[in-house]
Amino acid sequence: MSAPAPAHWSTRARTGRWAAILAALAVVVALGACDAPSEPEPGPVTTTDPTPAQRAAALVATLSDDDLVGQVIMPAVTFGDPEGAAALVREFRVAGVILMPTSSRGHSAAEAQAMTDAIRAVQPQLGAGLPDLLIGTDQEYGFVTRITSGMTQLPAAMALGAAARAELTRSAWSGVGQELAALGINVDFAPDADVLSSPGNTTIGSRSFGADAVAVGEQAAAAVTGLQTAGVAATLKHFPGHGDTAVDSHTDLPVLRQSRERLDSTDLVPFRAGIAAGVQLVMIGHLDVSAIDPGVPATFSHKVVTDVLRGELGFQGVAVTDALNMAPAQRLSPADAAVRALLAGNDLLLMPPDVAATRTGLSQALASGQLPRARLVEAATRVLTLRFSLARGTRPDPSTVDSQEHRNAAAAVAAAAVTVLSGPCTGPLVAGPVRVTTAAGRDQAGQWLSAALTALGVPVVSEGGSQVHLVGRGDGAEDLAPGAAVTVAMDTPYLLASADSPVRVATYSSTEVAMHALAAVVAGQAQATGRAPVAVSGLPASACR
């Protein structure tokens, strides 16, 4: 609820309306929407449709304070609760929602469709003129994937980094972007633009494209382009870079101790590349960046968000916080966190732990002057500009979901990613029958590999044979199989340094297409063309390239 209206409310409202108009027009100018020549050439009179920025500025000037506050809030809703999601949107009139899982195994495309249908059904009740709601999710692929069945599954980002073929990345992400759009999702909180500088960083791990900043930038830009050409807004994360720390920002505040020079030459490089590619959102991480604003989480740092992201990198899109229900943000009350995040320069508040308290706190800060109206108008205008820009596209036909064309694109990049770090580069990797074994919890990947090998004519046995052992995320030396002929890393490849197998292979992913690509290499029917995008102690990036 808003704070009680002061006695001079009508004067304040009129003054605020003009302030809103002026502030919104300033944002339009910054977005490049008012760049018509001062002396147009004479000619026939034509009319053009207003740009998304112009439409946003006009709409913002008409919004009540409650609706203005709602435009900067994006709470979480859970899969399987469409009625609850619709009720939340109806009550708080927010800019949109992020779909979050209730199961570690993820959810189906049908569940996603049910959620988006229920949320969009509320749209007519929110008032005339408002564009489509933002409906987002974390569909990174790899171990951060919310929709795990019923749609095309890409390998993890590190696999795309190993393939190092931007055109394959762009095609694969365009395909899944079309599928997300067909399911009613118009924002993907991906790709991860973090440069993986620390091998102990399991929070990021295979979510990163790799350790080379320029290569990560090329891949991030390709993923952004693929998603956004499909009509889904991409999000670079976690600014200014979560790759050089082993601390998980979900549970504590990581401190980035690298110099400003290293930030510029490494961590910021992929963000520059993604911004140059036209990315529409950048997510600010809960990170203490010592070289810029020591002791202040980037989420709440004006120096990081406004001075660096806006001023130095020139980003004009939507700056979105990382989830405000994470531990570093919850050191503040929901109201204080929301106000401080907006004052820092963020435009969209993601997953506040208490939506009511967040809205009340923002309304009170606006009424008291703690939150300048111009800052709120600027943020709301950016968010509405994004919403109007996404509303211009047509929703793809449902038949595009899990189509053969898109599965082929995923298979192509998975095949290009397979890396032999030690062992033969031509012919079968092992002779005779194969026995597939796995670390605990990897049964599905083992079954996919066994089936794929069988389909290629390779005998698969349960006893004897040449052992091909699969390990994945979270596995350690105790999960290796001593004496295995082949050890395969289905996540980051660092564990291969501890394996004693003569043949060591990385797929960086445990998807079905990754196991089919692995089977072709094991059978000698395809060459391993990937290169490890991170350094593995004692092993080359590739034994074959």
Which residues touch 13 (CB under 8 Å, ≥6 apart)?
Answer: none
Phi, psi torsion values for 235, nearest 5 degrees: -135, 115
With the C-alpha atoms ordered 453, 454, 459, 464, is the resulting torsion angle positive or negative?
positive
Distance in Å from the first CA to the final CA of the chain:
62
For 16-35+52-71+131-144+152-394, CATH gives: 3.20.20.300
- Residue 6 has a pLDDT of 32
Q: Measure Cα distances from 438 to 244, 380, 470, 521 in Å.
A: 30, 50, 5, 18
Choosing from 188, 288, 293, 322, the catalytic residue is 322
Contact at 8 Å (CB) between 523 and 458?
A: yes
pTM: 0.91
Phi, psi torsion values for 230, nearest 5 degrees: -90, 0
Nearest CA among 166, 152, 226, 161 for reference residue 193: 161
Paired tokens of 53: 């920025």
Contact at 8 Å (CB) between 145 and 206?
A: no
- Residue 459 has a pLDDT of 97
- Residue 36 has a pLDDT of 34
**Could you write out the three-class secondary structure of 191-213?**
CECCCCCCCCCCCCHHHCCCCCH
- Is residue 516 annotated as a catalytic residue, yes or no? no
Q: Residue 289 belongs to what H/E stretch?
A: strand 288-289
Q: Residue 453 belongs to what H/E stretch?
A: helix 443-455
CB atoms within 10 A of CB 144: 18
Angle in degrees, CA 278, 279, 282, rounded to 5: 140
> Can you give the pLDDT of all 545 residues of the chain as single tens digits?
333 333 333 333 444 444 554 555 555 555 543 333 333 444 554 558 899 999 999 999 999 999 999 999 999 999 999 999 999 999 999 999 999 999 888 999 999 999 999 999 999 898 878 999 999 999 999 999 999 999 999 999 999 999 999 999 999 999 999 999 999 999 999 999 999 998 889 999 999 999 999 999 999 999 999 999 999 999 999 999 998 887 667 877 889 999 999 999 999 999 999 999 999 999 999 999 999 999 999 999 999 999 999 999 999 999 999 999 998 899 999 999 999 999 999 999 999 999 999 999 999 999 999 999 999 999 999 999 999 999 876 788 999 999 999 999 999 999 999 999 999 999 999 999 999 999 999 999 999 999 999 999 999 999 999 999 999 999 999 999 999 999 999 999 999 999 999 999 999 999 999 999 999 999 999 999 999 999 999 999 999 97
Which residues touch 308 (CB under 8 Å, ≥6 apart)?
Answer: 240, 268, 292
Choosing from 117, 250, 397, 443, the catalytic residue is 250
- Is residue 322 annotated as a catalytic residue, yes or no? yes
For 418-522, CATH gives: 3.40.50
Domain borders along the chain are 16-35+52-71+131-144+152-394, 418-522
- Rounded Cα distance, 42 and 156, in Å: 55
Per-residue b/e over 15-45, b at no fewer than 16 CB within 10 Å?
Answer: ebeebbbebbbbbbeebebeeeeeeeeeeee
Contact at 8 Å (CB) between 530 and 506?
A: yes
Contact at 8 Å (CB) between 533 and 158?
A: yes
